Chain A
Amino acid sequence: MEYLIANFGAILFYLVAVLAVAGAVGVVTLRSPVHAALALLETFIMVAVLFVLRHAEFLAAVQVLVYAGGIMVLYLFVIMLVRVKNLRPEDAFLSGIAPLAVLGGVLLGALLALGILLGTMAAGAGAGALTAVGEETVGNTEAVGWLLYTKYLVPFEVVSVVLLVAMIGAIVFGRRDAALTGSGEGVEL
């Protein structure tokens, strides 16, 4: 019991990490897109937990709100609403690519791991979630908010524009336009 309490952080981390990896494997491996989407959702939530562990609470919230709540829902909507005739679960993977892709991934992963090993990593000081603004100690959200509107205002505005553009783009793509429609049957969307 003392071990559990003493190393709670580590145990929690490993648990969450394993679950996240499991979810990731599920995304890559599961044949049905719905199953893959759910696995991805699970991974998102685990990642949010990890964010919390690193004292990035605001980001965790954003992660859950945006990713899990928005993006995943969107994916699920599209998956379910797109009725495609020839999408069978057996054809989930591109033929013949798997070995090469795994090799590539492993290779890159190994190389990157090498980088990690080579880098000097001292134990994290663990400070910082509560960053002092002035003399007061504020919460993470406030601290991030302060940065966003002062130091990183321009990127913030630009990102807004990006979002606007994305919206417009999505609308354009979604338009039922004669020029866009091919020979295939349309989809009721």
Chain B
Amino acid sequence: MIITATHYVALSLILFCLGLVGVMVRRNFITVLMSLELMFNAVNLNLIAFSYRLDDLAGQVLAIFVITVAAAEVAIGLGLIIALVRLKDTVALDEADVMRS
């Protein structure tokens, strides 16, 4: 059994969809961000798979960038959470409804 890129892509797809569902479903903002991280990872996996397949290191480089940006985004996101907690004393998403009509 040779593990081809297809397997990795399929795995990446599964992880991505799971992350997607988690983003949509979870109530705690922190867990939403965590699901988001899952999606990032899925993308990275995809990149790496194709980088290997196509014999091009650009994929890995891109994956590095993705990781970096994801880290930045996490920092900001957690700052957001802090701010939200300070404002509303909650991290439940359905209670962050100031802009809802």
Q: In their complex, do chains A and B touch, with some C-beta pair under 8 Å?
A: yes
Instruction: Point out the residues of chain A lying under 8 angstroms from B72, CB to CB.
Output: 162-163, 165-166
Interface contact A131-B57, CB-CB below 8 Å:
yes
Task: Count residues of chain B with CB under 8 A from any CB of chain A.
Answer: 77
CB contacts under 8 Å to B, within A114-130, are: 116, 121-129
Residue A25 contacts which of B7, B18, B85 (CB distance < 8 angstroms)?
A: B18
Number of A-B contacts (CB under 8 A): 269
Interface contact B88-A20, CB-CB below 8 Å:
no
A2: Cβ under 8 A from any B Cβ: no
- Annotate A135-158 by CB proximity to B: 1 below 8 A, 0 otherwise: 000001001100110011001000
Query: Which single residue of chain A is at the shortest CB-CB distance from B5?
Result: A124
In whole angstroms, how far apart are the Cα atoms of A93 and B58 in the complex? 39
- Annotate A85-127 by CB proximity to B: 1 below 8 A, 0 otherwise: 1110001111101101110111011001100100001111111
Which residues of B does A touch, CB under 8 Å?
1-11, 13-22, 24-28, 30-31, 33-35, 37-38, 41, 44-45, 48-49, 51-58, 60-61, 63-65, 67-76, 78-83, 85-94
By Cβ-Cβ distance, the 10 closest A-B pairs, closest first, are: A173-B79, A184-B89, A166-B72, A182-B87, A128-B55, A28-B22, A101-B24, A10-B1, A109-B17, A105-B21
Which residues of A does B touch, CB under 8 Å?
7, 9-10, 13, 17, 20-21, 24-25, 27-28, 33, 36-37, 40, 43-44, 47, 50-51, 53-56, 58-59, 62-63, 66-67, 70-71, 74-75, 78-79, 82, 84-87, 91-95, 97-98, 100-102, 104-106, 108-109, 112-113, 116, 121-129, 131, 140, 143-144, 147-148, 151-152, 155, 159, 162-163, 165-167, 169-170, 172-174, 180-182, 184-187, 189
